[in-house]
Amino acid sequence: MNSIPLWKLIEESIRSNTPCALLLTVETSGSGPGRPGTAMAVTGSGSTRGTVGGGVMEHQLVSRAQRMLETGISSPELVIYDHVDEADHKRGGKPSGMICSGSQTTALIPIQPHMSETLGIIISILEKGKTGVLNLSHTDFSASDSTVQKAGEFTMISENDWKYTGPFGIPDTVYIIGGGHVGQALARLLEGLSFHPVVIDERERNSFEDPPSCRWITAPFTEAHSYIPESRQSWAVIMTPFHRADAEVLGSLAGKKLAYVGMMASTSKKATIFEELSGKGISEDFLESVYCPVGLSIGSRTPEEIAVSIAAQLIEIGVRNRGRT
């Protein structure tokens, strides 16, 4: 639900008068591919964005959504799939074709022109890296910003009397200090994950041939720390083009309570910078907390591979911080 391209596809469908449906997972139980809040957009022209779990179940849901669009159905519909062997199927939902023993309830919502205001609110919240709450029912499609990120709630009395309230947004912001090849590759990768990337570089965005579309702050590296708020939702990855700038940025972050501080460096560069900062009074506790060399050890060499190793480390730490082990 945090994919800006997904919501923009829906918004564009209204502008172009193209039929479109939102598929949203509102409840799951047991084992299964989807989770509450996963979303997918399906247009009458065949375009899709996002996923509600994949596999044969998603194929069936997409087919159902397309039939709704073809026949002009305008009311939302709930579809419940049980992930059990069809021969053993005894539950109230439809067999999904999967056998992972769970179930999934998905809301299929035909998009109407009056929903454009809510879509604008959702996109604005996501583009600003903020968080919000989406409210859905048989008659409601609304959203508002909210700093409180509670788990999604779904209640159902009947197929025409149900309500879903769920969080969306990207509360974790990764500040990439250094917009070179690796920094840009990391920013592009994070845009598709549960992080809001922000690049900080002394060079202007337009000085690069194909920069990422995320927020780009042009500022001296010596001032980078001032753009990084102290928060458990703030992550910092240092990868400037200069040894001196790396050291200055790292030193300026000492004492800030952040979710993560990492620096791209060789073992020898790390030793030199850490010795220098230690001599300036930077605490050993802070230096020991820095992830350096940054990223998981997967033998990465190219900018894209290094970006993958860093993103994987951020995901691993994020999962651990949220207690989803």
Reported confidence tier of residue 92, pLDDT bands at 50, 70, 90: low
Per-residue confidence (pLDDT) for residue 31, from 0 to 100: 61
Per-residue confidence (pLDDT) for residue 80, from 0 to 100: 93
All structural domains of the chain, each given as residue ranges with its CATH number in brackets, are 4-129 (no CATH), 173-321 (3.40.50.720)
Q: What pTM, to 2 d.p., does this model score? A: 0.66
Tens digit of pLDDT for each residue in 103-145? 899 999 999 999 999 999 999 998 887 889 999 999 999 999 9
Mean pLDDT along residues 257-275: 97
Percentage of the chain beyond pLDDT 90 is 73
Do strands 77-82 and 131-137 pair parallel, antiparallel, or not at all (unpaired)? Answer: unpaired
Mean pLDDT along residues 163-177: 91
Reported confidence tier of residue 322, pLDDT bands at 50, 70, 90: low
Structure tokens at 294: 């940054």
| pLDDT of 237 over the 90 cut | yes
Q: Which tops the pLDDT comparison, 232 or 185?
A: 185
